[in-house]
Amino acid sequence: MFDEATILRRLDEIAAQISNDYRDRELTVIAVLNGSLVFMSDLMRRIPLPLRLDCLSVVSYHGRAETTGEVIFKQIALPDVVDRHVLILDDILDSGHTLAAIREKLETAKPRSIRVCVLLQKKKERARPVDADYVGFEIEDEFVVGYGLDFMERYRNLPCIGVLRKELITSN
Ligand code: IMP
Ligand code: MG
């Protein structure tokens, strides 16, 4: 679907946009593990601003290709974001459950602002409405892997993003 060069070219554009939007502010990036790891590391090196990095880890998929809607936070304490300009980074916006829950949770920690950045956004009706402020690519409602995205913890190390063949999903 997207080769490495295409992804990196798009990251140049998003990083420029983020750098411009936050030029007078100190940014706190909150990366949602594990899917956003590769995206986060390529994106943050393109943002020449003072920034902090924290990570959040949630479980929302239970290893299968469909969502249950339940989002479990794996850490006891939230990152300290009081008065900070928070940018949540995630790999993909699908049903919206994950990002809606994370956004809601972080809002209780009293940041000054919150924005959301996703590498991919699926064109579909979401179970929970989430507005992503920065989107790498809009894609059809297909299950994709690579560049950090997994199916049952595999394929994260692919440098490109591709659609997982249907027979690989159902045979597992
Ligand atoms: P949501 O809560 O349904 O929006 O899903 C968010 C999470 O589900 C993402 O952070 C991914 O980890 C996972 N996910 C959703 N769609 C895909 C996909 O097409 N490929 C791989 N992971 C996905
Ligand atoms: Mg996943």
* Best residue among 149, 156, 160 to mutate for probing ligand 1, ranked by most atoms within 8 Å of CB: 149
Residue 83 tokens read as 């008065």
> Is the pLDDT reported for residue 81 higher than 80?
yes
Q: Which atom of ligand 1 is nearest to the CA of 96?
A: 4
Query: Residue 137 and residue 134: Cα distance in Å, rounded?
Result: 9
Percent of the chain with pLDDT over 90: 83
> Is the pLDDT reported for residue 62 higher than 60?
no
- Pairwise pLDDT comparison (167 vs 20), residue with the higher score: 20
State whether the beta carbon of 98 lies less than 6 angstroms from ligand 1. Answer: yes
Determine the 3-state secondary structure of 42 from DSSP: helix
Cβ atoms of 97 and 69 closer than 8 Å: yes
Q: Answer yes or no: 21 catalytic.
A: no
With a CB cutoff of 8 Å and minimum separation 6, the contacts of 52 are 26, 27, 28, 29, 84
* Best residue among 39, 57, 94 to mutate for probing ligand 1, ranked by most atoms within 8 Å of CB: 94
State the pLDDT confidence band at 170, using cuts at 50, 70 and 90: confident
Q: Which atom of ligand 1 is nearest to the CA of 130?
A: 4
State the pLDDT confidence band at 66, using cuts at 50, 70 and 90: low
State whether the beta carbon of 91 lies less than 6 angstroms from ligand 1. Answer: yes
What mean pLDDT value characterizes the chain? 93
pLDDT in tens, 110-167: 999 999 999 999 999 999 999 999 999 999 999 999 999 999 999 999 999 999 998 8
In Å, how far are 73, 102, 140, 156 from 58, measured between CA atoms?
5, 9, 24, 17
Spacing, Cα 131 to ligand 1 middle (Å)? 16
pLDDT in tens, 44-58: 999 999 999 999 999
Spacing, Cα 55 to ligand 2 middle (Å)? 15
Cβ atoms of 93 and 130 closer than 8 Å: yes
Percent of the chain with pLDDT over 70: 94
Which pLDDT does position 72 carry in this prediction? 87
> Is the pLDDT reported for residue 171 higher than 70?
no
- β strands within the chain, DSSP E: 27-33, 51-59, 72-73, 85-93, 113-122, 134-139, 144-145, 162-163
Residue 59 tokens read as 């479980």
Which pLDDT does position 67 carry in this prediction? 63
Catalytic residue, candidates 42, 94, 141, 150: 94
State whether the beta carbon of 148 lies less than 6 angstroms from ligand 1. Answer: no
Cβ atoms of 103 and 115 closer than 8 Å: no
State the pLDDT confidence band at 61, using cuts at 50, 70 and 90: low
State whether the beta carbon of 92 lies less than 6 angstroms from ligand 1. Answer: yes
- Average pLDDT (9-23) is 98
Nearest ligand to the C-alpha atom of residue 164: 1
